[in-house]
Amino acid sequence: MTAPLLALDSVSVVHRIRGGGLFGHRHVHALTDTDLTVAAGETVGVVGESGCGKSTLARVIVGLQRPTAGTVFHNGRSLWETPARQRARDLGSTVGMIFQDPATALNRRLSVATVIGDPLAVHRRGDAAARRERVRELMSLVGLPSSVAGALPGQLSGGQRQRVAIARALALEPRLLVADEPTSALDVSVRAQVLNLLLKLRDELGLAMVFVSHDIQTVKKMSDRIVTMYLGRTVESAPAGQMPETARHPYTRALFSATPSLLEAAKPIPLTGPVPSATRPPSGCSFRTRCWRATDECAEALPPLAVEAPGHEYRCIHPVAGPADLVIQESS
């Protein structure tokens, strides 16, 4: 079997911050024992509330964040055991990233053509004429008119700026594209255009993709597999086409329940109880402080990884088996 494009093995990220007294420090557990694989041509969606570790995961994947523990593999090679110069060269040519806000991700003093062509110049791809031609190809690929080549990012609409960011991410023909909330900073009217563009590019170019978003319905549309994160941990991974009916983790079901549908009214599952802190994560299952199915047993140890079916795993000792398990029992 060929190695996956990307593999994370027990990756943790812990940030040290000020706090806990005059000279004390606290530790923020941004990622904890995270495993993830992405095969060639596969789109993996990552969902969860703000602060669950989605963006930290994206930064780890593209090499912007070094893990505190664990190993990141790209094409079977350990990323952080590779010499720095080679690591930058390999990542730059095989992985592209689209950031959340194109207004801050693009240099506002450079023209559109310069922004898109910058990776080509940094990695010394071709001569000046070849780079100009590649920039024209990329602009056409993402639907940007040639008339904006000399414009500054601030002169473009939000949707056009994100197209510039996508073109830049594709400049070196990467095999893996990481999109971190790529439409959250855009108007509703242009979000669908950008999402459809990403789907088109994925299919035409054979890209693998990690699509990060808090919008679980958008992730379902975009992805082959959905990974649910909570407080820095992966709590469920399942085929997107089978969601939410086969979702077993209560948190995954709660996320889907809160999303409006055109066919039926949303029936959100209310999550009560204290929201845990990433500096002091609870014992056992991290979701137990808000879970309607939690028992004392949930506090004793981290739930083992249960395998529902090939490609479907979750961590929960009281999984949702059917509609009756979605009803929150009122205390008498």
In a domain, 332, yes or no: no
Q: Which helix (H) or strand (E) holds 46?
A: strand 43-47
- 148 to each of 23, 91, 144, 161, 330, how far by Cα in Å? 52, 29, 7, 11, 59
Distance CA 270, CA 278 (A): 21
Q: Which CATH number belongs to the domain containing residue 128 in this structure?
A: 3.40.50.300
Domain tally for the chain? 1
- Taking the C-alpha atoms of residue 173 and residue 169, their distance in angstroms, rounded to an integer, is 8
Give the separation between CA 232 and CA 241, rounded to whole angstroms.
25
Task: Identify the domain containing residue 311 by its residue range.
Answer: 6-326
Query: Is 331 inside any structural domain?
Result: no
Q: What's the pLDDT score for residue 54?
A: 94
Alpha-carbon separation of residue 26 from 18, 51, 52, 73 (angstroms): 6, 17, 18, 29
254 located within any domain: yes
**Measured distance CA(41)–CA(225) in Å, rounded:** 12
| Bond prior to 244 in cis (omega within 30° of 0) | yes
Residue 233 one-letter amino acid: R
Nearest alpha-carbon partner for 214 in 200, 228, 225, 224:
228
Sign of the alpha-carbon dihedral angle for 144, 148, 154, 157: negative
Instruction: Report how far residue 100's alpha carbon sits from residue 42's, in angstroms, rounded to the nearest whole number.
Output: 21
Q: Could you tell me if residue 182 is inside a domain?
A: yes
Asked if the structure places residue 1 within a domain, the reply is no
User: In whole angstroms, what separates CA 97 from the centre of its chain?
Assistant: 10
* pLDDT per residue rounded down to tens, the chain (332 residues): 577 999 999 999 998 887 655 556 788 899 999 999 999 999 999 999 988 999 999 999 999 999 999 999 999 999 999 999 999 888 988 999 999 888 899 999 999 999 999 999 999 999 999 999 999 999 999 999 999 999 999 999 999 999 999 999 999 999 999 999 998 888 888 999 999 999 999 999 999 999 999 889 899 999 999 999 999 999 999 999 999 999 999 999 999 988 766 555 567 888 888 889 888 899 999 999 999 999 999 999 999 999 999 999 999 999 999 888 887 755 43
Residues 111, 149: contact at Cβ < 8 Å?
yes
Tell me the whole-structure pTM to 2 decimals.
0.92
Alpha carbon 226 to its chain centroid, in Å, reads: 10
Please count the other Cβ atoms lying within 10 Å of the Cβ belonging to residue 19. Answer: 11
How far is residue 194's CA from residue 207's CA, in Å, rounded to a whole number? Answer: 16
* Contact (CB, 8 A) for 5 and 39: yes
Is residue 55 within 8 A of residue 212, CB to CB? The reply is yes
Nearest to 288 by CA among 271, 313, 304, 268: 271
Amino acid at 316: C
Closest by CA position to 44, among listed 179, 161, 182, 153 = 179
